[in-house]
Amino acid sequence: MLDWAKGRYDPPMEFEKLVQLPESARDDRWEKQFLDSILTLKVRVLEDGQTATGPDGWPYLKVATQDGEESFDKVVRWLAGRGIGLVVNPHKMVPDYVFTYGMLWNFVETGFFVSPWSPPPAGQVLITPESRPVVGPPTDKFLPPYVRDILRELLQAQGFDQVKILVAASQDFTEQDLVVANESVGELNASEQRQLAEALSWFLPLHYSLVFGPEQNLRGWVSL
């Protein structure tokens, strides 16, 4: 792999050597090589395929990379349709990798677990008609129907039955926000809003930004 910023070539490392590196040596370059390498592997599903609840409260399937029998790609696609994350080599003190559900379905749809992105700013984001955003319902590519079904079930389980959403994009579509109508989730306070956003973020790709906005200011709302 050529590091263009530094002008050098780093040959890809074998997977077994990658997972033997200590945590202190696992940088962004390590992550890219890990994600590229694991796609070619077969994995062993642990605990008879039963999911376990992680420390974050979400469901995960556990797999090991030794003595594998199942295609990693096949496992990922199975999980993407079910709202489940993935833990790789959980027998270690620190697992080699933890995939959120959003990372898995993003791979199925785009071929990337982690799409190129810049972290969105935290805090308030101003979206008004004067800023001329391009707004409308999410496309099936942006939010596939099976993901919408899973999100709807999650929100209904928490008492949010009629959540409304839209996508607000910049004029050049380089920035796109998934917007949730404040009124459709009961006018949450800042703390409650943050908790809901954190919950939803596990189900979305890492490069997606989530915004709460007043329904009256924008057009194009649809039910989730």
Q: What is the DSSP string of 98-164?
A: EE-HHHHHHHHHHS-SS-S--PPPSS-----GGG--EEEPPPTTTS-HHHHHHHHHHHHHTT--S-E
**Pair (91, 138) in one structural domain:** no
Is residue 65 assigned to a domain?
yes
How many domains is the chain built from?
2
Q: Which domain holds residue 37?
A: 2-110
Last residue of a domain, one of 53, 83, 110: 110
Same domain flag for 75 and 151: no
CATH number at residue 198: 3.30.300
**Whether residue 162 is found in the same domain as residue 89:** no
The whole-model pTM stands at 0.86
Tens-binned pLDDT, residue by residue, of the chain (224 aa): 434 444 444 555 789 999 999 999 999 999 999 999 999 999 999 999 999 999 999 999 999 999 999 999 999 999 999 999 999 999 999 999 999 999 999 999 999 999 876 555 554 444 555 555 678 899 999 999 999 999 999 999 989 999 999 998 765 555 678 999 999 998 788 899 899 999 999 999 999 989 888 888 778 899 99
Within-domain flag for 67: yes
Look at residue 115 in the predicted model and tell me its pLDDT: 86
Are 30 and 97 members of one domain?
A: yes
Asked whether residue 157 falls in the same domain as residue 214, the answer is yes
Domain assignment present for 54: yes
Buried b (16+ CB within 10 A) or exposed e, 57-83: ebebbbbbbeeeeeebbebbeebbeeb
The reported pLDDT for the residue numbered 6 is: 47
Judge if 95 and 186 occupy the same domain.
no
